[in-house]
Amino acid sequence: MAEEVLALRERLLFQSTCSVCLELFREPVLTACGHSFCQHCLVGSAACPQCRAPVPPGSVRPNRSLGDVAEAVRSLGEVAVWPRCPQHGKPLALFCEPCAVLLCAICRDGPEHRLHRLRPAEEAARELRETLQKNLLSLQEHKKYLKSSGDQKSDKLLTAVTWELQRVPETFKDLQQFMEEQKKILVAQLEQMSQELVSKSDEYKSRVLERQSLLDTVIAQIQEKRDQPAVKFLMDVGRILHSCKAAKAPIPEAVSSELQKSVESLTWKSQWIVGIMDKFKVSLRTEMDRGKREQVTLDQETANLDLILSDDRKTVRFSGKYNPPDIPKRFTGNLSVLGSQGFTSGRHYWEVEVQNKGSWALGVALESVPRKESLNLLRSEKVWALQLDWTGQYRAERVSPYPLVLREAPQRIRVHLDYEAGKVTFYNAKDMTQILQFEATFTEKVFPYFWVCSKGIHIRVCD
């Protein structure tokens, strides 16, 4: 009920307010075009302030009924009138649509609202109520949709993740169990073969010792017999000759041809299994780190003045003989060159052939890497690189202050960039063994980076 009374009061206020002075009517007059204004607001006007119709002299008439209504509204006191502007004390009877604020007649002519669209407050309130009601219905529908669709999507994703949480451990458990069984079988066969070879070796050594003892005996008998008189010499010479024959008989080999074939077959099987496992690890690492294979070429315009690039822009070497003109993007403070293509998203990789001597570095660098000043590769905040130093040590100081310990010197290195994850990973491309990994946050374009600081040394980007 209170809301209805309030709405009725607002309508009466609106109907009893002059659109020129925005005050309650005082001595209202009616124009020929049907609009009412305070008498003093219309003085001197040749056209209707509301519709711009002509107002001929003497054509206006008093509107006493409207005056009575205005007086009745005025009699309600200050409670019944429009709220007043705190700055000017005038009724806040206008609404500025761009600013969404109530204004008085004086505020209307100020510089902030002079060019804005203004409407009577009651009229604006009616339309905005309708707009808010439409928004209310739309938001309520949107809320229902969010609840239903959000639950469905999260349930679906949760089901998928739960399934993977069950499947992955089971898959690895099955694989681990299978590999453990195969390992036990293979190890048992190798151990059995080892024991048999040890037994054959011990047996052979025993026979050799026996033969050596027999040889010593026969040699001593011959040395004793050869100087005896003829009759005594011939009495048991046959036994000695028989011993000579036995002493010269071949000793059976420690490893028979059949045993050798068994050993070769088992070792081939073992090597085959190990090779399959190595290939599986390489394949698994490659698939897990899959990205786009980039055909990187070197950017001649960034190459230091002492570096020479091959015609196909795949190889860089230190020379000190080439002297191209200097330009803003060229490195002059350090022996560097960038790749021609940079990356601002995605996963990418390329491979580089290197030498295990001299001094070189490779990795990635930000586009804003310093070009005209010296650069400490191991501590720069704009370069992520693997470096081979003059002592033959591989280094990446931001990962570890100590030299990297590698199983073997890599001949071919894969550089993998994951822009969104902020990771730069180096692999030995031979078996995909990880050499090192940097973590960073990239906010600008990233380029392949190369550095060569030894004469006779080159690095080449693989096709």
The model's pLDDT over 413-453, given as tens digits with 9 standing for 90+, comes to: 999 999 999 999 999 988 888 899 999 999 999 999 999 98
User: Percent of the chain at pLDDT above 90?
Assistant: 27
CATH of domain 293-462: 2.60.120.920
Q: Is 125 helix (H, G, I), strand (E, B) or coil?
A: helix
Q: Are 292 and 346 in contact (CB under 8 A)?
A: yes
Percent of the chain that is helix, strand, coil (3-state, to 5): 40, 20, 40
In whole angstroms, give the CA distance from residue 236 to residue 221: 11
Band (314; pLDDT cuts 50, 70, 90): very high
CA angle 139, 140, 142 (to 5 degrees): 60
Identify which of 123, 124, 86, 121 has the alpha carbon closest to the alpha carbon of residue 107: 86
Q: How confident is the model at residue 288 (pLDDT cuts 50, 70, 90)?
A: low
Chain length of the chain: 463
- Where residue 394 falls among pLDDT bands split at 50, 70, 90? very high
| Cα(161)–Cα(163) distance, integer angstroms | 5
Share of the chain above pLDDT 70, in %: 91
Map out the domains of the chain as residue ranges.
1-79, 293-462
DSSP state of 339: B
Task: Find the mean pLDDT for residues 139-168.
Answer: 77
Q: Round to whole Å and give the CA distance between 286 and 276.
A: 15
pLDDT at 81 over 60: no
Q: How far is CA 184 from the centre of its chain?
A: 41
Q: Examine the pLDDT at 341 and tell me if it is beyond 90.
A: yes
Which pLDDT belongs to residue 287? 64
pLDDT at residue 2 in the model:
37
For residue 219, give Cα distances in angstroms to 28, 225, 252, 346, 449: 157, 10, 22, 85, 78
Q: Kindly state the average pLDDT of the residues 312-332.
A: 82
Sequence letter at residue 336: S
pLDDT tens across 120-131, in order? Answer: 887 888 888 888
| Residue pair 18/28 in contact by the 8 Å Cβ criterion | yes
pLDDT of 164 strictly over 70: yes
**Model pLDDT, residue 76:** 62
CATH class of 1-79: alpha beta
More confident residue, 15 or 460: 460
Q: Answer whether residue 261 shows pLDDT above 80.
A: yes
For residues 73 and 293, what is the distance between their CA atoms, to the nearest angstrom? 82
> pTM of the prediction?
0.46
- Report the pLDDT averaged over residues 158-174: 84
Q: How far apart are CA 88 and CA 106, in angstroms?
A: 7
Question: Is residue 209 over pLDDT 80?
Answer: yes
Rg (C-alpha) for the chain, rounded Å, is 50
How far apart CA 373 and CA 449 sit, in angstroms, is 16
User: Can you tell me the distance from the alpha carbon of 36 to that of 160, in angstroms, rounded to the nearest whole number?
Assistant: 72
The more confident residue out of 153 and 23 is: 23
| pLDDT at 378 (0 to 100) | 75
**Residue 232: which pLDDT band, with cuts at 50, 70 and 90?**
confident
